[in-house]
Structure 1
């Protein structure tokens, strides 16, 4: 662009700042308009992916994006000194709103050098994470590429190699313990971006579109001689089942809906209370179906997700209008079910077991899922609705090889050390150490009730009889005599297993009508928000003061 004229052709008379402003606008227009002939943009569209700015527009409220670093990059001038093109940095950052709530976003532009480090500019993305932390607003990452990760091509540009460093991950870990941090995986997510995915509170990947790995197929082939596609190496069927990623989406827009839903339950920072809403669902609603949802025959299964939805608000969420329940981690740690919901418009965490998966027995991945979810709720001050049907730890050789007890102990510790209020409802089984951890998570200090379907003890009755009377049972001369003796023992024990007998000895505080569960839980949640959570928030404010320092973030357990 000529030094004495604006892009409109008007000369700069030196009397105002209009000329440099026009230079700024011209560069912004180039950056914000897709170059339809650019190979990177063409590749993005050929892979059925949204362009980075299309993603931001789809995620945020209309016209709410305010960019930070809008002309970060490299302008290219022609022979006359006129602006010809602009190579932007491969990270777009800025403020925006989701459902009128302020957030900060960092988004990878895969069309610029596939997201590699030599397409980035300094510490732009980490700077944005620091801004989000200090402003106390949720941080959203749209990951597509290596997000500033390494590329050997950079060695030639620098003229030397370099000792690898955290490349801003320290800022991520600082932000992690102050504000909600969520990631959407929208393409191949490699190296640094893969680590960013794990350093967060919620992540979602898109089926058939996104993959995650520490190193891509070419590097893997060189190192391990495995010749794998991106999907085989790190597709959703791998990482959404091992717990690296929380949820799976069917499209980019579906991923954005899940992010909006997740954030709707959380405060903007640890220094605030979770956001309450006005729910049209009466807190006094008694659900008739709850009286029969647990089968009288103990070996039969039931639909735990249906049970949850009968208790929580039905006023809807941004992802599922039919219920306030938003499940987190459905595809991994499947014996356990975790998610957010509302009771009388108040956000709560929900944790329970799925008796259709391994009988509901908690395994190693289920334990990790439990620990992660409890840590999340505790960190952001969400009360926990704990619906217990826990037959115990998974057993057998596979369970032992997976270190189930070690991971289970971490889940027990997460329960015990939780400062969030916990409302425990024993809906069916509570057996063994695992059953005790769920049925009495605060070692006698929590609020607990049970349904008349409750069934508990150190061991399930059938298996316990086999262990306690093994010698007598094995001494029987025929299978028929053994079965007859077993049935006689079961009949003797059947009377004492009634939960009413436990209540007689105050072994359980109260047995309730299942239809009263919602009114009682709503009353508990209301009390927690009025009298308990404000004190916890005040103590955090007192501990950290008015300014958020990076040191606040240290110590959060992933």
Structure 2
């Protein structure tokens, strides 16, 4: 055959590329509890679906006759594959080749992966395990000069956030640009103990007098609690499962609508227990997640960011097979009061709803913004105003259930007053500018001070005012549209998605996602 020699050379080069950094480095990689990059891809995507782009890129050495002697593949793999039958783009670091740091072909291949996702309008999955193309000190000697940071891939990365689902996994020690790429995602995940993220790693940080190991400096226990990364899992396989599940709720791009799944009934159609789930003592807590899981399609609630912004529960779920973004208060943390992190978490999740055309379901028990010196120092009001502005800018349909408290400016953001919303209150609901117990001493200061028995007068005033706070009084004035038996909640959610689903329109939004 005319091209036997070339085809044999092609086959050999591909065999060398599949050896990654060599048997010794691959074995060392496994000993640290981490999978080689090609095995990661195999476990993540549908069988035999990966079509690699640039598999021959790398560093080669030739003899005097021009024959290939050695070949070190690029430490960045990219290409297309399928997950649950749907096409995606992959961008994966190979730590066994120079620790995943920058080398000749990486920059162009990284850029190619971002452009591939953007222009083909396909979800982008990043498997990050290294600096991810940010360069290394060794390059100074190799190139003979230093590089000016330009981040030429960042415009494409930003465009992707506005157009396609972007998911990132930190699967090792991820620093610099690698850490930034993980953070610049709609959803990110770290593996406990084996994943770390740094602006700069321990050797660099030691120069400023902080001697820390990798997990102390940037482990998942830090970054899944400060909001840099969304979720923490126990193994790489669990990370792959979380990624597959996240993508199942989203369209392949903003130009499509989210896929509808086969409807699954709730775990039980007996909702009578919801009538007693809210304690009569409004200072007592209850488990909001039990309510959420009972009302959505069985097993469909995927919580996102459970370890940060904890007064607010956020995630994706399904009602009659339709994907929704779900918000719910958690009274176990600050009584459900919004602090800085809760506001940040809210904005990110609402941006996801807007970007990918997902209706919003909101279960409210908000006593207001967090108060006190810590809240003031953290700038909670600034972040709160940002969250309220995001609500006012939202265009997707909202369905809100006021479960218990709705007080102050924070609770005012339970939906936008600039458009029609579905809004219901349970009989346990209570609302106002601020809780009665927090405002009586101020509002009735003179009357209480003039009394012979200030304590008794305070109790008398509280009883008088509290008699006027029944949600039924508000319903009479059309302050709230509907008060419902909690048993009706699932039926009302089903009616909401039936009405909302036909309203959803594909297409880009006027603003981009804010990571």
Which bracket does the TM-score occupy, shorter chain normalised? over 0.9
User: What is the DSSP-based 3-state SS (H/G/I as helix, E as strand, rest coil) of the residue aligned with 1:145?
Assistant: coil
User: What is the DSSP-based 3-state SS (H/G/I as helix, E as strand, rest coil) of the residue aligned with 2:87?
Assistant: strand
| Gap change, CA 1:483 and 1:466, over 3 Å in 2 | same
Given candidates 371, 379, 387, the residue that maps to 1:411 is 387
Aligned residues of 1:205 and 1:248 also touching (Cα < 8 A): yes
Asked if 1:177 is matched to 2:175, the reply is no
CA distance in 1, matches of 2:450, 2:473: 32
Please state how far the C-alpha of 1:135 moved relative to its aligned partner.
1.2
Aligned residues of 2:174 and 2:198 also touching (Cα < 8 A): yes
Q: Which residue of 1 aligns with 2:171?
A: 186
Please state how far the C-alpha of 1:146 moved relative to its aligned partner.
0.2
Q: Which runs of 5+ in 2 are unaligned?
A: none
Please state how far the C-alpha of 1:353 moved relative to its aligned partner.
1.1
Aligned residues of 1:364 and 1:402 also touching (Cα < 8 A): yes
Q: Which residue of 1 aligns with 2:514?
A: 557
Please state how far the C-alpha of 1:556 moved relative to its aligned partner.
3.6
CA distance in 1, matches of 2:342, 2:383: 9
CA distance in 2, matches of 1:80, 1:270: 53
1:428-439 equivalent positions in 2, closer than 5 A: 428-438=404-414
| Gap change, CA 1:283 and 1:516, over 3 Å in 2 | farther
CA RMSD, Structure 1 to Structure 2 (Å) = 2.1
Aligned residues of 2:89 and 2:124 also touching (Cα < 8 A): yes
Given candidates 490, 494, 501, the residue that maps to 1:522 is 494
Please state how far the C-alpha of 1:167 moved relative to its aligned partner.
4.3
1:143-188 deviation per Cα after TM superposition (whole angstroms, max 9, x unaligned)? 0010011211101111112222104222211211110001000011
Q: Which residue of 1 aligns with 2:307?
A: 331
CA distance in 2, matches of 1:383, 1:284: 24
User: What is the DSSP-based 3-state SS (H/G/I as helix, E as strand, rest coil) of the residue aligned with 1:341?
Assistant: strand
Q: What TM-score do the two structures reach when normalised by structure 1?
A: 0.88
| Gap change, CA 1:185 and 1:62, over 3 Å in 2 | same
Given candidates 423, 435, 442, the residue that maps to 1:460 is 435
User: What is the DSSP-based 3-state SS (H/G/I as helix, E as strand, rest coil) of the residue aligned with 2:77?
Assistant: strand
Please state how far the C-alpha of 1:21 moved relative to its aligned partner.
2.3
Q: Which residue of 2 aligns with 1:318?
A: none
CA distance in 2, matches of 1:76, 1:98: 37
Aligned residues of 1:270 and 1:379 also touching (Cα < 8 A): yes
Asked if 1:495 is matched to 2:481, the reply is no
Please state how far the C-alpha of 1:361 moved relative to its aligned partner.
0.3
CA distance in 1, matches of 2:99, 2:284: 52
1:51-95 deviation per Cα after TM superposition (whole angstroms, max 9, x unaligned)? 111111111111111111111112345678665542010101111
User: What is the DSSP-based 3-state SS (H/G/I as helix, E as strand, rest coil) of the residue aligned with 1:339?
Assistant: strand
Q: Which residue of 1 aligns with 2:294?
A: 310
CA distance in 1, matches of 2:42, 2:450: 74
Asked if 1:269 is matched to 2:244, the reply is no
| Gap change, CA 1:507 and 1:286, over 3 Å in 2 | farther
Aligned residues of 1:44 and 1:50 also touching (Cα < 8 A): yes
Worse-matched range after superposition: 156-165 or 501-510: 156-165
CA distance in 2, matches of 1:329, 1:121: 31
Q: Which runs of 5+ in 1 are unaligned?
A: 1-14, 315-322, 544-551
CA distance in 2, matches of 1:16, 1:503: 86
| Gap change, CA 1:496 and 1:88, over 3 Å in 2 | same
Please state how far the C-alpha of 1:283 moved relative to its aligned partner.
11
CA distance in 2, matches of 1:417, 1:393: 20
1:519-546 deviation per Cα after TM superposition (whole angstroms, max 9, x unaligned)? 111111122112x10xx32xx37x9xxx
Given candidates 452, 474, 478, the residue that maps to 1:506 is 478
User: What is the DSSP-based 3-state SS (H/G/I as helix, E as strand, rest coil) of the residue aligned with 1:150?
Assistant: coil
Asked if 1:485 is matched to 2:429, the reply is no
CA distance in 1, matches of 2:124, 2:477: 50
Asked if 1:21 is matched to 2:3, the reply is no
CA distance in 1, matches of 2:243, 2:179: 18
1:88-103 equivalent positions in 2, closer than 5 A: 88-103=73-88
Q: Which residue of 2 aligns with 1:108?
A: 93
User: What is the DSSP-based 3-state SS (H/G/I as helix, E as strand, rest coil) of the residue aligned with 1:123?
Assistant: helix
Please state how far the C-alpha of 1:473 moved relative to its aligned partner.
3.6
Aligned residues of 2:46 and 2:84 also touching (Cα < 8 A): yes
Q: Which residue of 1 aligns with 2:328?
A: 352
CA distance in 2, matches of 1:118, 1:36: 17
| Gap change, CA 1:444 and 1:80, over 3 Å in 2 | closer
Asked if 1:74 is matched to 2:31, the reply is no
Aligned residues of 1:95 and 1:103 also touching (Cα < 8 A): yes
| Gap change, CA 1:447 and 1:269, over 3 Å in 2 | same
1:12-64 deviation per Cα after TM superposition (whole angstroms, max 9, x unaligned)? xxx533432222122112221456543x3233122111111111111111111
Please state how far the C-alpha of 1:118 moved relative to its aligned partner.
2.7
Aligned residues of 1:286 and 1:516 also touching (Cα < 8 A): no
Given candidates 176, 180, 195, the residue that maps to 1:210 is 195
Worse-matched range after superposition: 389-398 or 60-69: 60-69
User: What is the DSSP-based 3-state SS (H/G/I as helix, E as strand, rest coil) of the residue aligned with 1:117?
Assistant: coil
CA distance in 2, matches of 1:433, 1:122: 47
Aligned residues of 2:408 and 2:432 also touching (Cα < 8 A): yes
User: What is the DSSP-based 3-state SS (H/G/I as helix, E as strand, rest coil) of the residue aligned with 1:184?
Assistant: strand
User: What is the DSSP-based 3-state SS (H/G/I as helix, E as strand, rest coil) of the residue aligned with 2:461?
Assistant: helix
1:389-434 deviation per Cα after TM superposition (whole angstroms, max 9, x unaligned)? 1110000000000000000001001111101111111111110111
Asked if 1:290 is matched to 2:274, the reply is yes
Q: Which residue of 2 aligns with 1:10?
A: none
User: What is the DSSP-based 3-state SS (H/G/I as helix, E as strand, rest coil) of the residue aligned with 2:172?
Assistant: strand
CA distance in 1, matches of 2:129, 2:152: 17
